[in-house]
Structure 1
Amino acid sequence: MLDTLDSLDMAKLKAFIFTYELGSFSLVAQKYGKHSSTYSRRVSNLEIDLGVELFVRNGVHLVATEHAKVLYHPAKSLLAEAEHFAQRVELCLADDETQLNIAIDSALHCFAPNKAISQVIKEFPATEVNIFSVNSTQVMGLMNKQEADVGLVLSNFKVPSSLMNNKLFEFDIVRVMAPSYAEQAGINSGKEVESALIRGLTQIVLSPLNELGVSTQNYSSRLLNVDNFEMAKRLAMDGVGWTNLPRVECEKELSQGELIEFIGVHEHNLKWSVDALWPMDKPKGTVATRFVDLITAQNGNPL
């Protein structure tokens, strides 16, 4: 077996795989370049190396042998692993991350971080990307323990000294409630609501932010704690209280009348922002930087 492995040549292996898939040397040449005789020679040399016939030649027609059928899938896997190895070598030479652990606040799913992640994976296929979708407090914990290389959280005021934070983008916040809850509270959509009336209603808030000291989100005297915007939205739609949501989180429900927007007296242009977190003692890598750039560009309003 060792002699067989020693004799393997990636160019010959590719020639075999391409020929098996396309059925002729001329078609391989048309698709991948080089002369058809180059692929014919490489396949012949591979047959000599392996000691088995891979194709029956019948003029310009090729028929894959049983040996070829047995070897095709392992050859395909071997080639994929070899290409992955080459990509990892390139990462090492470029000093890029071979692994990237991203911790994302689950409250931020409405900003589609999966799109930025998918693009990073396509651009850096050799980098192993791991995703932790957790709440704000847990993101901080993962970053503190250096189990994550970059974190995305709602902006807050309790970033540990071991971390750097960089505000990425702002987003619009809207106060919403179900029409039934508004009717029950005597609130007319489109009219400013007195602060005293709002404070007397049940507010659905993000508990992880309270744990991080962001008490500015608390407006009402009666609070219902949840750990993400999706749950807050669902409860608001069920008519159990009002909540602050990113506009992007509830645009559909607002347009369909499942939620209504309201504002307090003298309140305008409510905004919040998203932070990226980095370990203070670890430089930002190329892949992590690309991820942050992508999600910032994707959501606009960079700071």
Structure 2
Amino acid sequence: MIKRVGFYREFGGHGDPSASASAPSLRDAVRAAGEWDEDQIVAYLESATEIYSTMGAERDVITGDDWIPGAGSLVTDGSWLWLVELAHYVRNHHMALPSDFVDHIRANGYVSPSLSHEQSLKIFNEYFDRDASHGATAPRSTLRPFFTWYVPALTNTSSAALIKQLGAAGLSVAHPLTDALFGFRETVEGRKGPLMGGPDVLAASLADGQYRDVEFQCWMGYDQSLATHVRRIDPSAQKVTFQIADVPEADREDAVAALVRALDQDAAHCLGFVIDRIGTSGEQDWDRVLVGHGGQLAVLPDIVGIRRERLSAHPEFAAAHGTEYGPLAVFHRPER
């Protein structure tokens, strides 16, 4: 079972919803001076694997002035679990840590172990399942990595261009050996049928307003594919989602790179995109955040791109630094 450290009553609304007045106070852990190797301990805390990310910042509860980006996010070294803000309080207030945790850090040579996606998923599920057993509300995510982007409603021309862009990036909508298309399409009335034929049939289906959902495989070579789902959000926009979880972990960065190459070819028409290599933001209502109305961002993925004219409706981006990508402002989750 994962051990927890630093879940104080002042953090009751972040990370551990079961925290209450009975939890220890952060103020009681503040010291005048830290451990002799405090800098190395802080570096360890900041280098652990982040398994759950939140957007925004919280004030330092001791001083009330400093802002802590990503407060409430969860990080782990595989044995212990703590909140992102723990490093801030150790560095700035010399907060005391349990002796067995400090011994553990020193025994690891101040180097946090690397965790696989499967290890991160196991810890994530253990943590939130435990909260659920206490009757608390916790995010329920399948933790499936994905890459989603939004485009204006596809026409015959733009859908054919999308298929061509995927091909140029090394992703084929038909199997490289059989040239067969594997997929389904569903009408707005809910009638679902197989998608058979070639890329021209797929292009026509993507552009046909009678189809709400179109599902197919994008092939990376002969034996690897990404489940791809194109959904009509409204008459003016469609969402294209690639399940990078379908690709073996060792090859996922290649899949992400290929999808970025495809997106780069028509960035000017992109309405927004999300890259989430772990899947922690899977339950975020990205439709509302990126193309609809409302929908405040609660969980930050690896990368999110949003149209610059929409930023005024999302104050949660105000403290973040974005870079330009065509008509989008792109925000990266800070490295810890």
Structures share fold, TM-score greater than 0.5: no
Higher helix share: 1
TM normalised by structure 2 equals: 0.26
TM-score (norm 1): 0.28
Structure ranking higher on relative contact order (CA contacts 8 Å, 6+ apart): 1
The structure with the largest alpha-carbon Rg is 1
